Structure 1
Amino acid sequence: MYLVAKFDLDGTTYNEVVFFQDDAIDTIKGCEREIMYGRRGGWQVYTHITRAARGFTYTTSYACASGVQRFSDWDRSGMRPRDNVFSVTIENDVLNVVSHGSYSKCMASVRQRGGESRQQFCGKSAQRLLTP
């Protein structure tokens, strides 16, 4: 079960994405409950801090999805470069992530599949997609 955090740099098409996973949350309902706590400032499991780039603001959105793909740990420091580009699709509460060589290639792929939406977008991440 993943909590997918999408950080939109306001006024741009640039997004960052983080894939949170913890064995304590193993259902969509449990993940959605965690989002509810988080919106009230009381994360129970996925404690994290968002930091916008100086002079910019982020809009953060969250989604819950199950998935078999695995990711490296997220960078708690915020210092690791976000050099991995992913197209992210969440359909019927199932997460599918594809790695791309560049942000422009990712955007072209997403546009071919109907364009960006809350459930389909590109994002840069410090996390890596791990091979099984």
Structure 2
Amino acid sequence: MTLLEKLNSTDRFAASIGARLIEVGDGYARAELTVEERHLNGAGVCQGGAIFTLADLTLAAVMNSHGTLTVGVSNNINYVRSAKLGERIVAECRERVNHHKLPCCDITVSNEAGDVLATMTGLGYRTKNEFVFDALQ
């Protein structure tokens, strides 16, 4: 099973909101979500938690792509624009530092027009456990 397939099938929360990985490469991952009624907050725009979950899914892919179980320890997200009903939003994660214990990544979430909706920085902790998969994608 590839890393893309593994995370799409085992990250049940991300799957439950409709988020899915569409690309995993060396130090890079991309995921998408179409904003539905269930994602809207009281202001009628996409709830920040849905955007965070999409970004976090890409973070998990990049940080675990080296074959060692890595868990998130700190995330900082900035919301700069709203996502609206029906929009397809995309998170892209790029590895900034591939540290043996504390890897760091930058994630950008954008809409189809390329407008940035949120930026996030994620810090992980690499455990001593393997994270087994056959290939990235």
> What TM-score results when the alignment is normalised by the length of structure 2?
0.24
> What TM-score results when the alignment is normalised by the length of structure 1?
0.25
More strand by share: 2
